[in-house]
Amino acid sequence: MANPRGFLEVTQRELPSRRPVEVRIGDWREVYGPRDPEVLKRQAGRCMDCGVPFCHHGCPLGNLIPEWNDLVRKGDGRAAIERLHETNNFPEFTGKLCPAPCESACVLGINQPSVTIKQVEASIIEQAWANGWVTPLPPSRVTDKTVAVVGSGPAGLAAAQQLTRVGHTVAVFERDDRIGGLLRYGIPDFKMEKHHLDQRLAQMQAEGTRFRAGVNIGVDITWPELIERYDAVVVATGAPKPRDLTIPGRDLLGIHYAMDYLVPSNRVQAGDSVEGQITAEGKHVVILGGGDTGADCIGTAHRQHAASVTTLAIGYQPPSERPESQPWPMDPTVFEVQSAHEEGGERVYLASTVEFVGNAAGEVTGLKVAETEYRDGGRFPKPGTEHVIPADLVLLSLGYTGPDYTDLQSQIGVGLDGRGNLKRSDDYTTSVPGVFVAGDAGRGASLIVWAIAEGRAVASEVDRFLQGDTDLPAPVRASDQPISI
């Protein structure tokens, strides 16, 4: 039983400290220093063990948060990792990368700062790895069924691990040269060092999951061929298509999609050399879009010694407190200071870019920016407010529009739904028997925690398809959405 008065005794959140900015921007290692176990116990002890734990609902995985909070409070890390792994295959990923809708839903958050759930999660798995409590769990018997998982991001990996463990032979295909999808090349090391990924992949490999990097399904192997070769196929190829900004000057040199900038940088961190790497060194960098990818660009640019870094966001600066329109327990948009924001640069709001300005060489030199005006339910540049911001490197991090679907559609007729995602049913099936869609490919760009949840759920459906029945858990349906009005 949790300490019923814990939340009254410790009223504030305590987060682990980030390494000093001047130190951390000199390297690429993770920004967070070690966590103090006593602080974590104290924070976990603030959990109220609610009759209706909204955190557990707010988490798409259905993490058993009150239960492992209490185990951490009592110092039983061994039991805590078991309870955590019960619902989450990769807590080290979510513990570092998830924006934690659970904390937004935390009941304590109604009138007090919420429990630092994410930190508790991260510490549980860290301790578990450190103590060798995470071991491969190969199946006790194998079936005669094979499954191809296309895409090695969190959804694909989760599906693969679940299906491997119940005895199916699973091959994970990745068109990139290394396994991991966005986890590998989309996330800078200062947010998650890649050895975390590698040690998890090693566990999966030891369990029997097969990894096939550098194979582009649809091209190297056609979809019909793949379907022929496997009893089931899981499409977990993500929603990588970036949103563009088609305004005058878009074809100037020096304007890139954020991923085109981040991926080479992350490759270099992985020890590769990348020819023609876009780097921010010595440049005035302007980033369009104030989301997580934008923040990754900021951190990367600083580490590359940019001359200046400016982020332009078209809308209002979000409020620092939860707005009334997004009541508890919704996951609200609030003004956040991520680690990258601490490291420097300017964040400009209500900035509508109307034109990229370039020089004769066709290189971008600046952006013509107007103040945003909200009108008729839309956002428009306010006439007469234009001014030019200098820039030698412009990064577009305006979100993602959906999956690559051309080969799928042309080869097996799996096309898009009305929202631009791969068309599937509530149970992740497509029009082609045996082909399933999971993760961002079906949901649209979302959170890593949704990807893992979908990966787990699709595995359950695939198992049922292959065996007629399943013991695998299915935490979400394809149509499930976060709580909202």
Partner 1 sequence: MTMKGPFERHSAFPAPTGLYNAAYERDACGLAMVATLRGTPGHDIVDGALRALRNLEHRGAVGSDAGTGDGAGIITQIPDRFFREEVSFELPEKGRYAVGIAFLSADSAERIAEKRSVEGIAREEDLEVLGWRVVPTREEEIGDLARETMPGFEQLFVRSHSRGEDGLGLGGIALDRLTFRLRKRAERELGIYFPSLSARTIVYKGMVTTLQLEPFYPDLSDERFESTLALVHSRYSTNTFPSWPLAQPFRRLAHNGEINTIRANRNWMHARQSQLSSPVLGDLRPLFPIVTEGASDSASLDEVVELLELAGRSLPHAIMMLVPEAWENQLDMDPAVKDFYEYHSRMMEPWDGPAALVFTDGSLVGATLDRNGLRPGRFVITSDGLIILGSEIGVLDVDPATVVRKGRLRPGSMLLADTVEGRIIEAEELKSSLANMEPWGEWVREAEIHLEKLPEREHIIATPQSINRRQRTFGYTEEEVRILLTPMGQTGTEPLGAMGSDTPIAAISERPRLLFDYFAQQFAQVTNPPLDSIREQVVTSMTTGLGPEGNLLEAGRDHARQVVLEFPVIDNDELAKIGHLRHPNASAASHTLSGLYAVNRGHEGLRERLDELCREADAAVDKGVRFLILSDRHSTVDLAPIPSLLLLSAVHHHLIRGHKRMRVGLVVEAGDVREVHHAALLIGFGASALNPYLAMETVEQLARNGEIVGVEPEKAVRNVITALGKGVLKIMSKMGISTVASYAGAQAFEAVGLSQELIDEYFTGTTSILGGVGLEIIEEENRQRHELAYPAEINAKPHERLPVGGEYQWRREGPPHLFNPETVFLLQHATRQKRFDIFRKYTKTVDDQTEELMTLRGLFRLRTEDRTPISIDEVEPVESILKRFNSGAMSMGAISPEMHETLAIAMNRIGGLSNTGEGGESPERLLNPETRSRIKQVASGRFGVTSLYLTHATDIQIKMAQGAKPGEGGQLPANKVYPWIARLRHGTPGVGLISPPPHHDIYSIEDLKQLIFDLKRANPAANIHVKLVSQSGIGAVAAGVAKAKADVILVSGHDGGTGASPLNSLKHAGTPWEIGLAEAQQTLMLNNMRGRVSLHVDGQMKTGRDVIIAALLGAEGYGFATAPMVVSGCILMRVCHLDTCPVGVATQNPELRKRFTGQPEFVQTFFEYIAEEVREYLAQLGFRSLDEAIGQAHLLDVDKAVTHWKSEGLELEPILSTEALRPGVAIRQAEGQDHELAEHFDNQLRELVKPALETGQPVSVDLPIRNTERAVGTMLGNDVTLGYGEDGLASGTIDITLRGTAGQSLGAFMPGGITLRLFGDANDYVGKGLSGGQIVIKPAEGSVYAPERNVIAGNVIGYGATSGTMFISGVVGERFLVRNSGATAVVEGAGDHALEYMTGGLAVILGETGRNVAAGMSGGTAYIYRLRSERVNREALSSGEIELSPLDSSGREIVRVLLIRHLEETDSPLAARLIELGDAALDDFVMVTPRDYKAVLNTRDEALAQGLDPDGEEVWSRILEVTGG
| Residues of this chain that bind partner 1 (CB under 8 A) | 1, 4-5, 7-8, 48-54, 56-58, 62, 64, 66-67, 76, 82-83, 85-86, 105, 107-108, 110-112, 137-141, 165-167, 327, 329, 470-473, 475, 483, 485
DSSP 165-230: HTT-EEEEEESSSSTTTIIIIIS-TTTS-HHHHHHHHHHHHHHT-EEEET--BTTTB-HHHHHHH-
Nearest CB to partner 1, comparing residues 400 and 450: 450
Q: Which residues pair with 387 in a beta bridge?
A: 369
Nearest CB to partner 1, comparing residues 67 and 296: 67
Is 144 in contact with 369 (CB distance < 8 Å)?
no
Tokens representing 50? 């609610």
Number of H helices, E strands in the chain: 18, 16
In whole angstroms, the minimum distance from the beta carbon of 121 to partner 1 comes to 14
Nearest CB to partner 1, comparing residues 277 and 326: 326
Is 475 in contact with 86 (CB distance < 8 Å)?
no
In whole angstroms, the minimum distance from the beta carbon of 100 to partner 1 comes to 16
In whole angstroms, the minimum distance from the beta carbon of 4 to partner 1 comes to 5
N- to C-terminal Cα distance for the chain?
33
In whole angstroms, the minimum distance from the beta carbon of 427 to partner 1 comes to 15
Nearest CB to partner 1, comparing residues 61 and 314: 61
Distance, in Å, from the CA atom of 263 to the CA atom of 279, rounded to the nearest integer, reads 11
Angle of helix 154-165 versus helix 194-207 axis, rounded to 10: 30
In whole angstroms, the minimum distance from the beta carbon of 98 to partner 1 comes to 17
In whole angstroms, the minimum distance from the beta carbon of 421 to partner 1 comes to 24
Going 142 to 144 to 145 to 151, the CA torsion angle's sign is positive
Tokens representing 411? 């080869």
Nearest CB to partner 1, comparing residues 4 and 271: 4
In whole angstroms, the minimum distance from the beta carbon of 469 to partner 1 comes to 9
Nearest CB to partner 1, comparing residues 62 and 358: 62
Nearest CB to partner 1, comparing residues 225 and 426: 426
In whole angstroms, the minimum distance from the beta carbon of 15 to partner 1 comes to 21
Nearest CB to partner 1, comparing residues 66 and 156: 66
Residue 236: φ, ψ to 5°: -135, 60
In whole angstroms, the minimum distance from the beta carbon of 75 to partner 1 comes to 9
DSSP element (H, E) containing 378: strand 378-381
Distance, in Å, from the CA atom of 281 to the CA atom of 286, rounded to the nearest integer, reads 13
Residue 368: φ, ψ to 5°: -90, 120
Beta strands 387-390 and 400-402: pairing type?
unpaired
Nearest CB to partner 1, comparing residues 109 and 358: 109
Nearest CB to partner 1, comparing residues 401 and 467: 467
Token pair 């497509």 in the structure block, residue: 430
Is 90 in contact with 158 (CB distance < 8 Å)?
yes
In whole angstroms, the minimum distance from the beta carbon of 165 to partner 1 comes to 4
Is 28 in contact with 269 (CB distance < 8 Å)?
yes
In whole angstroms, the minimum distance from the beta carbon of 101 to partner 1 comes to 12
Distance, in Å, from the CA atom of 199 to the CA atom of 91, rounded to the nearest integer, reads 13
In whole angstroms, the minimum distance from the beta carbon of 83 to partner 1 comes to 7
Nearest CB to partner 1, comparing residues 208 and 358: 208
Contacts for 411 with CB less than 8 Å, ≥ 6 apart? 218, 222, 223, 224
Nearest CB to partner 1, comparing residues 167 and 294: 167
CA atoms lying within 13 Å on the CB side of residue 421: 23
Distance, in Å, from the CA atom of 239 to the CA atom of 241, rounded to the nearest integer, reads 6
